[in-house]
Amino acid sequence: MHATTQRRAKHRLGGANTHSARLAHTRNPRILFIDDDPDLQATLEMRLRPYAVEVEHAYFGTQGIIEAIKSRPDMVLMDLAMPNGSGEYVLETMRRNRDTAAIPVVVFTGMRDASVRRRVISLGADGYLQKPASLAELIDAIGRHIPIARKESGGPHTRVS
């Protein structure tokens, strides 16, 4: 098994700490959403409300790094173009830090250049999703890395931009 895959598997199981492993089974998964657009932050939280996940927020790159280290989310969803630390910087920093190296990161960006996608995947991103994305696409991208289930029945699938 590749070292990064081992670290990610260990993170998902809560590491060697049995309390963390038990906690993972008793709480909803937490997603840290790093994006400088407060409207998009609110929209994403609203669209994910019917699902058994918690959404935490960071509005710029360095805040996202600090929150990831402090709160150890189960997953990070982030933009690339942000003030005070671009998404690439956040990704590189997270991958170098032993406390955040195993956290799955999905880049959620409006950038359409295929070379950007290749670059962030080579930097360690676990996924890449283009804005705007339908709720189904977003749920699929999240569900590849953390369990996500509906709490209740919701409305029609709309686009998250």
- pLDDT tens column, 16-70: 333 344 445 568 999 999 999 999 999 999 999 999 999 999 999 999 999 999 9
Average pLDDT, the chain: 84
Question: DSSP H helical segments within 15-143, as ranges?
Answer: 18-26, 38-48, 61-71, 87-96, 114-123, 135-143
Cis peptide bond prior to 132, omega within 30° of 0: yes
Predicted TM-score (pTM) of this structure: 0.79
